[in-house]
A = this chain, B = another copy of it.
Amino acid sequence: MSLRLSSPTDYEALLNDYDTWLFDCDGVLWRGDQVIDGVVQVLNILRRRGKKVVFVTNNATKSRKSYKKKFDQVGLEAHVDEIYGSAYAAAVYISSVIKLPKDKKVYVIGQEGLEEELHDEGISFLGGTDPADNTLDSFNLKDFTVDPDVAAVVCGLDTQINYTKLSKAFQFLTRNPECLFIATNEDSTFPSAHGLLPGAGSISAPLRFALGRDPVCTGKPANTMLDCVKAKINFDPKRTIMVGDRLNTDILFGQNGGLATLLVLTGITSEADITGPNASPIIPNFVTSSIGDFRVIESA
C-alpha cells in the first residue's frame, strides 16, 4: 500500500528522510517543452536544503551535455554531472563493464546523443547518423560486407529508423554469434509535447523479433543505470528516493536498487493504474499528484 502524500507534514517528512533525490524528467519535471507547475520552486527548495539532486532519464537521443541544454531552455537549473541518461549508461557499459577492446566497433541505431556519449567514452562506432544509413533507398545484401570488427549493436530511440539500419544490424548479430545486442532502454512509448509516440523499446523490437533474442538493456529499470550513478556520486541507498511517473521503469528501478520510491501522476501512470482490481503489482512507497505539490511546505 502506497502512502498518499497530502499534508505539509507528509512532504516535510520526506524531505527529512531522504538526502539524495533521483528524478525522472519527462512526465515528472516537464511534458514536452512545458515545465510542470511548481517544479522550479520545488527544485529550489531541495537545493536550498542541501539535497543531492540527480536526473535519471531513459532519453537516449540526447547526450548529458545536450540534455543540459533542455534544462536551460525550459528554465530549470541542472549541471551535466547531475544528469544520467540511458545513452551514457550504454556507453559506460560498453567501455567499463564489457571493456570492449579498442580495435572493436559498435554499430549504432540511434541519434547524435548516443554517438556523442560513445565518442566521449572512446568507443569507435559506425551507422547512427551516417547519411549512408539514413535512407529509404532499397537495401541489397549483395552490396554489403559485414565488418568483422563490429562486436556490438547498440540500439536507442531513432526517429530515422529504416530498413537499411535494421538489415545491417541483423547481419552483424546473425553472422557473428559473439556480437552483443544492447538496448539503451525498453520504454514502449515516450511522451512528446502532443502525446505518446513509439519509444526506444519499439525501435529495438524488430531486431528482437527477427533474432528471437532479447538485448541487454542499460536504461531504467536495469541496475546498469544505477551502477553508473554509483560510480560517480556517493549516496546512501537508505536515504535516497527515486521520483518517477512510470511504474515499470522508474518505480521498479528504484525498487531494484533498494531505494524509496515516489510516484507522480503528471506523466504515464494514472489513478486507474494504481487503484482497483487491475492495479499494477508494482507499488511505490509514496504517491503524490505532482512534484509541484511539495510547494505546500513553503506556503504552510
List chain A positions with a Cβ less than 8 A from chain B.
134-136, 138-142, 158-163, 166-167, 170-171, 174, 188-189, 192-199, 201-203, 205-212
Q: A136-B162, A170-B197 are in contact. List 9 more A-B contacts (CB 8 A).
A: A138-B159, A139-B159, A158-B163, A170-B196, A174-B196, A188-B212, A202-B207, A205-B205, A208-B209
Contacting residues, chain B, for A212 (C-beta < 8 A): 188
Contacting residues, chain B, for A206 (C-beta < 8 A): 198, 202-203, 205-206
In angstroms, Cα B256 to Cα A191, docked, is: 42
Pair A163/B198 contact, Cβ less than 8 Å: yes
- Smallest beta-carbon distance A234→chain B, Å: 37
Pair B198/A170 contact, Cβ less than 8 Å: yes
Smallest CB gap from A175: residue in B = B195
Contacting residues, chain B, for A188 (C-beta < 8 A): 209-212
In angstroms, Cα B138 to Cα A142, docked, is: 30
A142-B194, A197-B141, A202-B206 known; A160-B163 Cβ under 8 A: yes
In angstroms, Cα B203 to Cα A135, docked, is: 17
Contacting residues, chain B, for A209 (C-beta < 8 A): 188, 198, 201-202, 205, 208
Q: For the complex formed by this chain, how many copies does it contain in all?
A: 2
Closest 9 CB pairs of A and B: A141-B194, A205-B209, A202-B206, A205-B205, A159-B163, A202-B210, A198-B210, A205-B206, A202-B209
Q: Return the contact of A160 from the options B136, B140, B141 (Cβ within 8 A).
A: B136
Contacting residues, chain B, for A205 (C-beta < 8 A): 205-206, 208-210
In angstroms, Cα B170 to Cα A74, docked, is: 28
Contacting residues, chain B, for A142 (C-beta < 8 A): 193-194
- Smallest beta-carbon distance A53→chain B, Å: 30
Contacting residues, chain B, for A141 (C-beta < 8 A): 192-195, 197
A201-B209, A206-B205 known; A161-B160 Cβ under 8 A: no
Contacting residues, chain B, for A161 (C-beta < 8 A): 161-163, 166
- Smallest beta-carbon distance A24→chain B, Å: 19
Contacting residues, chain B, for A170 (C-beta < 8 A): 189, 196-198
In angstroms, Cα B141 to Cα A138, docked, is: 27
Contacting residues, chain B, for A159 (C-beta < 8 A): 138-139, 163
Q: Return the contact of A139 from the options B193, B197, B210 (Cβ within 8 A).
A: B197
Contacting residues, chain B, for A163 (C-beta < 8 A): 158-161, 198
Contacting residues, chain B, for A199 (C-beta < 8 A): 210
